[in-house]
Structure 1
Amino acid sequence: MPEMTFLIRWPDGAPERCYSPSLVVKEHFAPGESYQVDDFLSRARTALTIASARVEAIYGRPCSLALAQLARIEAGAKRFPDAAAKVAVESFED
């Protein structure tokens, strides 16, 4: 299964390298685009849940790395309650 990382930048300028066990992230984000935190979080939940389910379909168990990444994103998003704050997706790395 192809895995990938994607680089994001939080509204405060802090970068974070994120992991996905599947390329499905490319269906939910575009490099160079910015997303309001709530939208980013919703897209990340969808993409990483699908990625984990794909791993489960092949290996019989969900992907703990994808679920841990989602938990880190959820925790990070809590730091930005301003509805106008945006997360930038800077790049994909296959």
Structure 2
Amino acid sequence: MKRLIIITSIISLILIFTGLFLKNLAIDFEIFNLIIDFNITGDQLTGTGVIGLFFFVFPVFSYYRWKDKDVKDYMLTQENIDKMNKSKK
């Protein structure tokens, strides 16, 4: 259940911020101008999407993929170099 919630939240964040990238979508921005007192342009939506992906989606995805892994397995140490040389022979 916990995994389903994490996957659903990651997918929903990706969809939200990807939707903000699509500035040429058939959305009438006059609705937003009536609700909010400033103009929203496509460049602002694209920038918001980039910021959202960079600060929210990428860290959540990175944590989800790396939470049970050991970083030393992926570092280039002398021990790992010796393992690679043994596997080539």
TM-score above 0.5: no
TM-score when normalising by structure 1: 0.34
More helix by share: 2
More strand by share: 1
Whichever of the two has the greater Rg, that structure is 2
